[in-house]
Structure 1
Amino acid sequence: MKNVTARQHNPFGFDAPCEPFVPGYGDANAHFHVIGDHPGVHGGATSGIPFTDNAAGERLQRALVAAGLLAEAGTPPTVEKTYLSYLYMCGGDPPTETDYDDFEPLFDTELRAITAHVLLPVGERATRHVFANTTSEPTESIDMDARHATEVVGSGWLVFPIKEPAEWTDDDEEALVDALTALLETDYRREADLGRFMPGEDPYLVR
């Protein structure tokens, strides 16, 4: 199902009892969903846009531009077929485990509304959440150095974990750009048209 909205900032109209609030930003029909931790780690408390206002978020943006997932970096970035959001969307104090739990239904609603083909969790916290909810991968002691920029096949999604940009070496950045550039040259959507088995001429695409 296609989302009918041209709004890029908070396209689903989410609200939260906090200030600053940093909702998702991007294409509501994205193929790629970049999932960060919270504004204190990846930025955006000032602008209200994920992955802005700090060095880690801006470095990630530049890598996504180089790989072809963003048209331009900036505040906001120029997006097409990419969506950016956080597990915990409030700025201010670092979130507690209860805070993450309270926001989990909101994030999961967003995840399933976007229905991107590729999930790109940034950092161990986001990777653990995505692994637990969309794959059969173990979630204890995730080695982000080993997992960085590698493909994991999930239940309806491809997952590409990303190491914390603040900890990248030049080789880490190059590995991510190379992996995503190669991904774009494949049929990453991995859809099958079952419409040929049904009456009428409309396609019926499933993953």
Structure 2
Amino acid sequence: MDAHQDELSNPFSMDEDCRNCPALTDCREAIVHGYGDVGGEFVFVGESPSDAAEATGVPFTGDEAGQRLQRMLGELGFSRSPPDAEEPALQNAYLTHLARCRHPERAAHDDEVRNCEPFLNAELRMINPHIIVPIGQRALEELAIEYTTRRPESFDIEAEHATTIRGRGFELVPMRPLEEQTEAQETAFVDHVLQNVFSRDYRQTKGRRSR
């Protein structure tokens, strides 16, 4: 964890009473802001919190899908906690979503994702990661608009899973939705990062200072 960081949960002290989306304000249990190492070189971005993450207040925790990601983070050396930890001890990784609130009956609407863009943009600007991991098709398309020169509709999460896409200032390493992954796909993602990201100096994609 960054030496100057006090908290892993919502480390940038973002608004915990945001009311920009009236349809979500009345039904949400909590706002789930980002969690992790603010000096991390990897940022994992999902679509919106699960019901389990809403209960724990921490992205990608509390259910089988979250445990899958936490297990992968452990294999990559980003987590020192068991996969079922509700407040994982992360280093070099940050977890967040396109939308911070969960509707119990539907996915986030486009305007709700747009309302949350300032939160995500601020996190990415302050963290300045080398690698962004979009989890799922929607996260991939949204990040592609901002950080690649390809048309968003040209991306297919099934085909792009466990590959590296050169972006504008970042590299994207897409991941299939956690709840849909097979063990083989989980292994493929971990192996790709170990063999094709860690094995080279991915930091050359940015002019970032050494940490």
**TM-score, scaled relative to structure 1:** 0.85
* Secondary structure of the structure 2 residue equivalent to 1:11: coil
Q: Deviations over 1:68-92 (max 9, x none)?
A: 2323232111101110001101133
Distance 1:11 1:67 in 2: 22
* Secondary structure of the structure 2 residue equivalent to 1:120: strand
Distance 1:13 1:192 in 2: 26
State how many pairs are aligned: 194
State the match for 1:58 in structure 2.
Answer: 67
* Secondary structure of the structure 2 residue equivalent to 1:46: helix
1:77 aligns with 2:88: yes
Query: Aligned to 2:55, which of 35, 46, 66?
Result: 46
Q: If you compute each CA radius of gyration, which structure gives the higher value, 1 or 2?
A: 1
Query: Aligned to 1:175, which of 167, 183, 188?
Result: 188
Greater fraction of residues in strand: 1
- Structure 2 spans left out of the alignment, 5+ residues: 20-24
1:190 aligns with 2:207: no
Structure 1 residue identity aligned to 2:30: P
Structure 1 residue identity aligned to 2:35: Y
Percentage identity across paired residues of the two chains: 31
Distance 2:135 2:115 in 1: 20
Q: Deviations over 1:96-116 (max 9, x none)?
A: 122111111221111111111
* Secondary structure of the structure 1 residue equivalent to 2:145: helix
**TM-score, scaled relative to structure 2:** 0.84
- Structure 1 spans left out of the alignment, 5+ residues: 194-203
Deviation of 1:141 (Å): 5.2
Decide whether aligned partners of structure 1 residues 138 and 89 sit closer, same or farther in structure 2, where only a CA change above 3 A counts: same
Larger mean Cα displacement after TM superposition, 147-156 or 94-103: 94-103
State the match for 1:86 in structure 2.
Answer: 97
Flag as ranges the 4+ runs of structure 1 deviating above 4 A: none
Query: Aligned to 2:31, which of 13, 21, 27?
Result: 21
